[in-house]
Structure formats: structure tokens, C-alpha cells
Amino acid sequence: MSSSAASSAVDVNMKSVSPEEADTESTSSSSSPQPTAEASSSSAKTSAAKSAELYKEHMRTIQFDDSTSFSLSGSQQHASSSAYNKATTTSSKVIFRVAKEVSSLRASLPLDISSAIFVRSDDDKSTLLRAIITGPEDTPYTGGCYQFDIYFPNSYPSTAPMVNFRTTGGGVVRFNPNLYNCGKVCLSLLGTWDGAQGEQWNETSTILQVLISIQSLILCKEPYFNEPGYEQYFGTPTGESESLKYSEEVFRNNLRYAILGQLATPPEGFEDVIHAHFFLKRHLLIKVTKF
């Protein structure tokens, strides 16, 4: 499905969502008896479950799209445009391996209202890929949309893909000890961090593993402790205090750049995802006034 077709489909679906489906909070008239605490809890759980199912139903149709055309210049250009332009003819081995992996993403990308991964590829530039990972709930990244640009070099899969983090506020924000404001992603699987033995890239590793590792290991509840050496302070008063301050700053930047910034200027190829994601999660995000 093309991006424009998917976007149109979502627009139609959004219009067809009834108020009961779209609004996760039920209302009652002033004359109705007040529900008990147990009834309120049960109603809230039911509403949350419906909201989650509605989110998955709509977002599944636009989770993957292979008809995007990545720009190689301009403000929305792919981070690896230069490397792509300089590359010699890509071998059939690399093209086949990338095509196999990208094809498998259609049915294997994680999708949940708490956090999901969305991918766009370009049939004409098959060694380029782009992903959006939504920040998991109960973390300072909650609800935010984080963009990663991916490039498969001619040495792939002998070497890891190149992954560049793009949600940096134009290079001013460092969202995590493992996510630099220059775009560097520190991950043992990518070879940008030593890590433990067995965590390094090998020819059986996949881009899906990389994306899930970022989602689960980097966009975490207490990113402060991702800084090497800081794990020794975990559980201590100093560690907890510093972690809270760090997370509060991350959350403020999440609101500014990964939510409001993405709504103002959606990443190329993900316009439909950005609009639908924030529409369907609006009630949950409004409730989150502080981390």
C-alpha cells in the first residue's frame, strides 16, 4: 500500500470511528448514580482494552510501506544520502539479503499501543531504510516518535548496518547516554559499543534485532543508568535522585521534540503514522502531565 493510499485509508477510518470507540473515557449524566470504585476500575480497564485494540487495528494497516521515495537532499534527506551516493554498484548478494529482511518486517514488527515500530523502505533505493519507534509507556519517552535512518553498506551482512538517530532537535538534544545529538547510536549489536561477549553483530543478525534492541534497551524507564559506570548507583539515594532529574529532562524534550516537533514536521514517509498515532493516543498523552 502506498503512503498516500494508506493515509487516505486512515483518514476514512478515522472518520468512521464512533465517539464511543475514539473516546476512551465514558461520560454519564449528572442524574446517574455514582459508580463504585470497583465498577470504575472495571470500566477503566475495559476502556483501555478497547483503546488498545482500536490503535492496533488502525496502525497495522500503515505499519510498513515499501513505496516511499527517500529524499537525498533537503531538510528531510536520508541521513546516509552521502554514503549511498558514493557507494559503488551494490552486489546481488546484498540486495537479496536486504530484500529478504525487509520483506519479513511486514509480519514481524512489534505493534502495541504502549510502543510500536514502523518502517518505510524505497524500492528504488533498496539499501536505505527508515524507522519510527514510539516511546514505551511508563518511560520518559512515552508517546514520542523517534526516527532512525538506516543504511546497508556493500559489506552487509558481514558488517552491521549504519543506523543514525534523527530526533535530536536539530542536533541540540541528547535523549539517552546511548543516543548522541550527532545521531550516533551506541549499541553492541551495531559495533558502536563493546558490550558483552556474544552481543556483537554476526551474519545471522538482522535489522529487526537492532530495532527491538533500541526499543527495549535504550528507550527504557531509567535511561540515566545506561551511562557506563552509573549502574553502581542503582538503588542508592544519589542514584535515584540523579536518575529522576535526568528522566524529567528527557521527558520535557520528549514533549518538545518527539511529540510537538513531530506533529509540526512529520518525518518523510511517516505523515500518516504521526497523525494517526497522536490522534488515537491523545487521551493517554493528555493525562501525562509529568513523569
- Long-range (24+ apart) CB contacts under 8 A made by 278-286 are 278/143, 279/14, 280/22, 280/51, 280/54, 280/55, 280/58, 280/59, 280/113, 281/55, 281/113, 281/143, 283/23, 283/24, 283/25, 283/51, 284/24, 284/51, 284/113, 284/137, 284/143, 285/142, 285/143, 285/259
Q: Is 186 a catalytic residue?
A: yes
Q: Where are the alpha helices (DSSP H) in the chain?
A: 3-16, 19-22, 37-59, 81-86, 92-108, 207-213, 237-253, 261-264, 271-280, 282-287
Cell numbers linked to 125: 533505493
List 145, 182, 186, 220, catalytic entry = 186
Q: What is the dihedral of CA 134, 274, 106, 93, to 10 degrees?
A: -90
Residues facing residue 150 across a β-bridge: 129, 163
The Cα–Cα gap between 175 and 198 comes to 27
Task: Provide the terminal-to-terminal Cα distance of the chain, rounded to the nearest Å.
Answer: 37
Give residue 247's Cα distance to chain centre. 18
User: What is the 8-class DSSP label of residue 135?
Assistant: P
Active-site residue set:
186
